[in-house]
């Protein structure tokens, strides 16, 4: 199994934006190719609490 990439502040900003739009944690994780646990940590503020939500630069569709 391949390791998922490290979450960057930019990724966290997009994750927060998608979560605010109603996406489920597993959906955000799949779109960003990261573990769902990292999205949970972002959502609860354990990681990247200082990052504000930001729209993705390019839309991602599934």
Write out pLDDT tens, residues 22-31: 999 999 999 9
Indicate the domain borders of the chain.
Answer: 1-54
pLDDT for residue 31: 96
Distance CA 14, CA 16 (A): 5
Contact 54, 17 (CB under 8 A): yes
Distance CA 53, CA 41 (A): 15
pLDDT band of 1, cuts 50, 70, 90: low
pLDDT band of 2, cuts 50, 70, 90: low
Quickly list DSSP for 45-60.
Answer: TSS-TTPPP---SS--
CATH of 1-54, one of 1.10.3470, 1.25.10, 1.10.10, 3.30.1360: 1.10.10
Q: What is the mean pLDDT of the chain?
A: 91
pLDDT for residue 54: 95
pTM as predicted: 0.85
């Amino acid at each position: 199994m391949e390791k998922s990439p490290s979450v960057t502040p930019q990724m966290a900003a997009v994750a927060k934006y998608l979560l605010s739009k109603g996406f489920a944690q597993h959906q955000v994780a799949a779109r960003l190719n990261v573990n769902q646990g990292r999205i949970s940590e972002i959502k609860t503020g354990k990681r990247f609490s200082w990052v504000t939500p930001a729209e993705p630069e390019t839309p991602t569709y599934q």
